[in-house]
Homo-oligomer: A and B are copies of this chain.
């Protein structure tokens, strides 16, 4: 599927950005944009009918986000080739994306050639990571910054997610059917494990690691 025409699907909620993709990609012979979606749900639906050779996927989108869309598409077609193209210059997001089944991760700050190169690499079966993310990943390894998901147990992670999403300790206790005391204990333990002193730092860490996206906060 490399030698001749390759069908590509674009997924991004910003029309102007899709216009940009198209402008960059159509300069490459052998690439055709056959479908466009503006959120994760539409991406999944269109993928099944269009069966593109490659998906270029944004992460931050309304409703079903990019990570979840990658997961669903890969579940439907284990061989799907998905290249994540996002503004998030963040090792945490990259790890999540690759784990979800993406074949590449390129940031939007990258020059167009990097995108084209990544498209070609992924089509050729390779994994494509843009240089800035390579660097981020290297740094996070060197500094031993264990991504929250690793150091926390499943339960702790669940509590953290609720702490960031819900309002009070008592509400979380009710959701989990445990005593408020337990939630408070977990809350404290989480801050300890993550090495933060205050809730504010906790939120900042979560944002940095991509546990929370800025759009999640709007619908509070």
Contact = CB atoms under 8 A, between A and B. Distances in A.
Interface of A: 13-24, 38, 60, 85, 87, 89-90, 108-112, 115, 163-164, 167-168, 197-204, 207-208, 214, 217-218, 220
Contact of A163 (B19, B163, B200, B208): B200
Contacts of A87: 14, 60
Given A108-B17, A218-B208, A197 B167 contact: yes
Contacts of A22: 23
B14 A109 contact: yes
A16 to B, nearest CB: 4
Contacts of A109: 13-15, 38
A207 B213 CA distance: 11
A22 B201 CA distance: 40
Contact of A115 (B16, B24, B108, B202): B16
A117 to B, nearest CB: 13
A24 B214 CA distance: 28
Contacts of A20: 16-21, 23
B220 A167 contact: no
A12 to B, nearest CB: 9
A151 B16 CA distance: 36
Contacts of A202: 200
B214 A112 contact: no
Contacts of A23: 19-20, 22-23
